[in-house]
Structures are given as structure tokens and as C-alpha cells.
Chains A and B, each alone.
Chain A
Amino acid sequence: MQDVVIDLAYIVAAMLFVMGIKMLGRAATARRGNLVSAVGMLIAVLATLLAGGINYAWIVVGIVVGGAIGASVARRVHMTQMPETVALLNGSGGLASLLVGWVEYLADPRPDTITATAIFLAVLIGGITVSGSVVAWMKLAERITGKPIQFGAQQVINGVIVLGALVIGVLLVSDPAGSYPLLLVAIAASLALGVLAVLPIGGADMPIVISLLNSYSGLAVSATGFVIDNTVLIVVGALVGASGLILTQIMCRAMNRSLGNVLFSGFGSAVHASTMAAEGEIKPLSPEDAYYILEAAATVVIVPGYGMAVAQAQHVVKEFADLLEANGTEVRFVIHPVAGRMPGHMNVLLAEANVPYEQLVEPPDVNPTMETIDVAGVIGANDVVNPAAREDEGSPLYGMPIIDVDKARTTFVLKRSMNPGFSGVENPLFYKPNTRMIFGDAKAVMSALVSEFKDA
């Protein structure tokens, strides 16, 4: 009877998850969708607690401690830190799958072939997810360099570890009873594999990596479901694994790249030699002089990027846009799908600053009429406005859809320094004749511009 109730609850939970994911994909229903899926989670967990033989005292300890950590981290992090936070949360789920696989082996060291296979997969995929997520987090939080880390025999070493892991898997499955040391080796190999797989990928591609690792964590969950014959784990893990894969693909398409290219090209490493040397000179401009040009402009587009996020400049940018509008200028924000460190990063920040929805446009909406724009203001964006993506076949960015700010009558680029962008690629935009560089922290410069307008 108990089992029937639990299974029925699992069916309800699975339905709620399906509805939740569906609703998350549409702007109007997204927030409710998240709630629907949270209710599904609650039902699934409560139902599981009905089962006998589990250790309630320790479960309470684990849930209270984990809940407190999760809630405090999630409430405290700033919107600019969202990408790396998702990476860490994902890693913690991956580690949980690994541990469940490990524990199930300890509980029954003589599993049948199928269970042994599932344990191996849960540990392997879970391990890759956790160590890969931690490396992605370190790259995004700039604990280690965002540049691709590559060394000579990397591909060979990775290949050997993959082969080794497969051999371990076969040995483990063929003789599960005497293979506890092998399981430990498999854990070590999976952790190493996650690190080695993510190290050679550039920081700019971390969102795609996190999305892919999210998909992996779903598969790891499915594997644990096969270990303990639990349908809700299998179904929900498969849902997350498959939808995560589609999302990863959608993100790759936004950058006009293939997944293979993202994972194996070492994109943004110094190895790529550009065929086009940057020509021309840098023309710096002071905020005062920028004010005179802006004051006379009829149309302005603003292109925000990661620089705006780190400087926390979204509120002052919004204030600036309001002042321009009050001055009779038409202002629009052009959001590149991959601006910032995560797709949608800029939308989140500008929404936080109450920028109205209708002011946000996508690159195809403005690119055809860019020649008629008086001023294109680039605030801390770099790769998404790099004309090399259009003009330079030797550039690693070549083929990526960009915002054609170089075609505007005047282009302002707000930047802290001349350092190249997150991808590490030189930007010829800075040297174009109609480009003016305004150096400084995005918030400081925007505040200066705002006070110019207010004093006038």
C-alpha cells in the first residue's frame, strides 16, 4: 500500500516537473513554472520519506544543514555572480549522485550486472560533473585564469584516462563483488576527467560548459535511479539530461558554433594567429566631450556587456538612458544573446534596473539600420561587437553574429583598459576611425556622463 502511494506521488511529481520545464521556456509563465516544479520536488521528497528503513535523524541533519547553506548562498549572491553560482549548485548535485552510487555499492558489494553498470555510470558522470563544475566556477569567479589552459600531450592524456575509465568499467561490471578498489579508481578517474575536460575551454564558453554539465548531472541522476530501481529519478534525470542538451545546442547556435568546436578547439587561446593586424590609432575621449556628442544625438543604442555587470553600473546606465530620452533622444538597448558570462545575463541586470522591456532589442533588429544610428555606446562589451567576427576569416570569432556598432556614425567604447576581451581576441573596433574610447570604470564614467547632463 505504502509503495503504491509513493509511486502515485512520483507520477504526480514527474507531471509537475514536465509542466514546470515547459512553463520555464516562456517569459509569461516562467516564474510560475519554477514554482510548479518546486511543488513537484516537495511531493517527491515527502513521498520518499514515507518509505521504511531510512535513517530519519540523519536525513533531518542533512536537509537542515544543506537547506541552510543553499538558502543563504542563494539569497546572498549578487546577480552578477549568477553564472558561477549555478555552476557550484550543479557541482553539488553531481557530487550527491557520485556519493549515492558509492553508498549503494557499500550497501550491497555484490550487485548484479545491471546495478553494477548503473553504479559505475552514476559515479563516472557524477564525478565529471562535480570536478568540471568546480573548474568552471573557478574560471568564472576568476580564481584561475579564464584563458584556455592547454599543454602538449593533453589530448593523449585525456584519451588514456577515458580508455582507462572504460576498462575499469568493464572490469567492475564483470566482477562487481571483488572490485571495491576499482570503484575508488573510477571515482578518481572521473574527477580527473572533469578537470581536464574543462581546463582547455576558454572562460567565454563557460555558460555552454555549465549547461552541458547540467545535462550530465541529469544523466547521473538517471543512473542512480537505475541503481535503486527508482522511477522518479530515472524519468526526471532523463528530462533534465535531454532538455539540458537542447538548451546547450540553442546556446551554441547563438554563437554560431558547434558543440565540438566549443569543447575541443581551445577557443581564445593565443595559438590562433589573426591574419588581420589591428590598424589605426586609439582615440581617447573624455566624458565631457562625449556629452556634447550625445546631447546632439537623435538616436542612441547602448550595448551592455560584462564590464557593466562587474561595475554594477546598470542603475546609473538606466538613469543615463532616461536623461537621454528626456533630451529627446531615442534610446534602445541592444542585447547580444551571449553578452556577459551567461545567456540572458544582461536582460537580468537591466530588468533589475527597471529598464522597460520595449527598450530591449536583439541584434537583428538594429543591425540593418545601424548606419542611421548617431551614437552606439558600448559599455564593457567586447567580443560581441568585434568586427573581426565579420571580416577576419583567421579570427577565432569569425562567423559569430555580432552587433555591428562599427557601422554607426560614432561609436563610444567604455572600457577599463586596452586588455582584450574574455575570449582573449584583439578587437579592431577600437582602432576604427569613428571609434572613441572612454577609459575608466563603467560606473564612474556613466556617473560622470549623468552629472554632465544634470549640470547642463
Chain B
Amino acid sequence: MTILLLLFTFVLAAFLGLELISKVPSQLHTPLMSGTNAIAGIVLVGAIAATKVDGWFGTLLAVLAVALATINVVGGYIVTDRMLAMFRAGAKKD
């Protein structure tokens, strides 16, 4: 039963994702890509949970996953913010 509920959640979320963006102005394509890429760093949650594993090798992989996911999250948000900060500066004039 749980799996069906999870699948249900997945499908609904996917449809929401499909509807969420449309007609994005082209100058926002790159920041949007970069911003959703940072969000995909949520796998950090999975990596944190994975540190429950026993054994040195599993722990090594899990810590590596935590570090990589954090790179994705931190780098992704900063890069996106830097790009969008520039639009702000340009738009201020009007």
C-alpha cells in the first residue's frame, strides 16, 4: 500500500512540475535551469540518511555523497543568485 501512495505522490508532483513553468522569458532560462539544479541537490537528504550504513566503505561512499550533494546545493544557489543579481542591476534603470 505504501508504494502505491508514494507512486501517487510522485505522479502528482510530476504533473505539478509540468504545469509549473510555461512561457519563461529567454533571459531566465539559464537561471531557471541553474535554480532547479540547486533544488535537485535535495538528494543531500538521502545522502545524510545513507550515513546510517555500517562498515568503512559504505560510510566513505555516504560521506562522499554528502559532500557532492552539498557542492550541488551551495554552488547551485550561489551561482543562480549571482546571475539574478545582475538582472536586478540592469532592471533598476526603468
Binding site for B on A (CB under 8 A): 14, 17-18, 20-22, 24-27, 30-31, 33-35, 37-38, 40-41, 44-45, 48-49, 51, 53-55, 58-59, 61-63, 65-67, 69-71, 73-75, 77, 79, 82-83, 85-86, 89-90, 92-93, 95-97, 99-100, 102-104, 106-107, 114, 207, 210-211, 214, 217-218, 220-222, 224-247, 250-251, 254, 335, 337, 342-345, 347-348, 350-352, 354-358, 362
A92 touches B68 (CB 8 A): yes
B48 touches A59 (CB 8 A): yes
B50 touches A107 (CB 8 A): yes
B72 touches A27 (CB 8 A): no
Q: What distance in Å separates the Cβ of B46 from its nearest Cβ neighbour in chain A?
A: 4
Given A55, A96, A225, A237, which contacts B52 in the complex, CB threshold below 8 Å?
A55
When C-beta atoms are compared, the residue in chain B nearest to A23 turns out to be: B35
A96 touches B47 (CB 8 A): yes
- Chain A residues whose CB sits within 8 angstroms of the CB of B44 once the complex forms: 41, 45, 48, 96
Tell me, in angstroms, the Cα distance from A221 to B45 when the chains sit together.
10
Question: From DSSP, what is the main secondary structure of chain B's interface residues?
Answer: helix
- Chain A residues whose CB sits within 8 angstroms of the CB of B40 once the complex forms: 90, 93, 214, 217-218, 221, 236-237, 240
Q: Mark B21-49, 1 if CB is under 8 A from A, else 0.
A: 11011111111111111111111111111
Q: 7 smallest A-B Cβ distances: which pairs?
A: A242-B17, A66-B70, A62-B66, A347-B27, A351-B90, A70-B74, A343-B29
- Chain A residues whose CB sits within 8 angstroms of the CB of B53 once the complex forms: 103-104, 106-107
Binding site for A on B (CB under 8 A): 2-3, 6, 9-11, 13-18, 20-22, 24-55, 57-59, 61-91, 93-94
- Chain A residues whose CB sits within 8 angstroms of the CB of B77 once the complex forms: 34, 37-38, 41
Tell me, in angstroms, the Cα distance from A90 to B83 when the chains sit together.
17
Tell me, in angstroms, the Cα distance from A115 to B55 when the chains sit together.
21
A221 touches B46 (CB 8 A): yes
Q: Beyond A27-B27, A30-B87, A31-B84, list 14 extra A-B contacts (CB 8 Å).
A: A30-B28, A38-B38, A54-B49, A70-B71, A71-B74, A74-B76, A77-B79, A96-B65, A227-B46, A234-B10, A236-B40, A237-B42, A344-B28, A345-B30
Tell me, in angstroms, the Cα distance from A348 to B83 when the chains sit together.
6
B72 touches A92 (CB 8 A): yes
- Chain B residues whose CB sits within 8 angstroms of the CB of A352 once the complex forms: 86, 89-90
Given B9, B15, B36, which contacts A240 in the complex, CB threshold below 8 Å?
B36
Tell me, in angstroms, the Cα distance from A14 to B3 when the chains sit together.
19
When C-beta atoms are compared, the residue in chain A nearest to B53 turns out to be: A107
- Chain A residues whose CB sits within 8 angstroms of the CB of B52 once the complex forms: 53-55, 107
Q: What distance in Å separates the Cβ of B42 from its nearest Cβ neighbour in chain A?
A: 5
Given B28, B41, B81, B88, which contacts A25 in the complex, CB threshold below 8 Å?
B28
- Chain A residues whose CB sits within 8 angstroms of the CB of B27 once the complex forms: 27, 335, 343-344, 347-348
A27 touches B30 (CB 8 A): no
B45 touches A82 (CB 8 A): no
A67 touches B70 (CB 8 A): yes
- Chain A residues whose CB sits within 8 angstroms of the CB of B17 once the complex forms: 21, 238-243, 245-246
A231 touches B36 (CB 8 A): no
When C-beta atoms are compared, the residue in chain A nearest to B31 turns out to be: A30
- Chain B residues whose CB sits within 8 angstroms of the CB of A85 once the complex forms: 75, 79
Known: A210-B33, A233-B42. A27 touches B71 (CB 8 A): no
A66 touches B67 (CB 8 A): yes
B64 touches A24 (CB 8 A): no
- Chain B residues whose CB sits within 8 angstroms of the CB of A245 once the complex forms: 17-18
When C-beta atoms are compared, the residue in chain B nearest to A129 turns out to be: B40
A58 touches B87 (CB 8 A): no
Known: A62-B67, A356-B94. A103 touches B45 (CB 8 A): no
Q: What distance in Å separates the Cβ of B1 from its nearest Cβ neighbour in chain A?
A: 12
B70 touches A63 (CB 8 A): yes
Tell me, in angstroms, the Cα distance from A155 to B27 when the chains sit together.
35
Tell me, in angstroms, the Cα distance from A404 to B20 when the chains sit together.
34
Tell me, in angstroms, the Cα distance from A252 to B58 when the chains sit together.
41
A41 touches B18 (CB 8 A): no
Q: What distance in Å separates the Cβ of A337 from its nearest Cβ neighbour in chain B?
A: 4
A45 touches B13 (CB 8 A): no
- Chain A residues whose CB sits within 8 angstroms of the CB of B50 once the complex forms: 99-100, 103-104, 107, 228
Known: A58-B59, A99-B61. A236 touches B46 (CB 8 A): no
Known: A20-B39, A217-B37, A351-B86. A74 touches B78 (CB 8 A): yes
- Chain B residues whose CB sits within 8 angstroms of the CB of A244 once the complex forms: 33, 36
A103 touches B62 (CB 8 A): yes
Q: What distance in Å separates the Cβ of B29 from its nearest Cβ neighbour in chain A?
A: 3
When C-beta atoms are compared, the residue in chain A nearest to B49 turns out to be: A228
Q: What distance in Å separates the Cβ of A79 from its nearest Cβ neighbour in chain B?
A: 7
Known: A96-B65, A107-B53. A79 touches B86 (CB 8 A): yes
- Chain A residues whose CB sits within 8 angstroms of the CB of B46 once the complex forms: 96-97, 100, 221, 224-225, 227-228, 230, 233
Given A38, A77, A114, A233, which contacts B3 in the complex, CB threshold below 8 Å?
A114
- Chain A residues whose CB sits within 8 angstroms of the CB of B78 once the complex forms: 70-71, 74-75
Tell me, in angstroms, the Cα distance from A41 to B63 when the chains sit together.
19
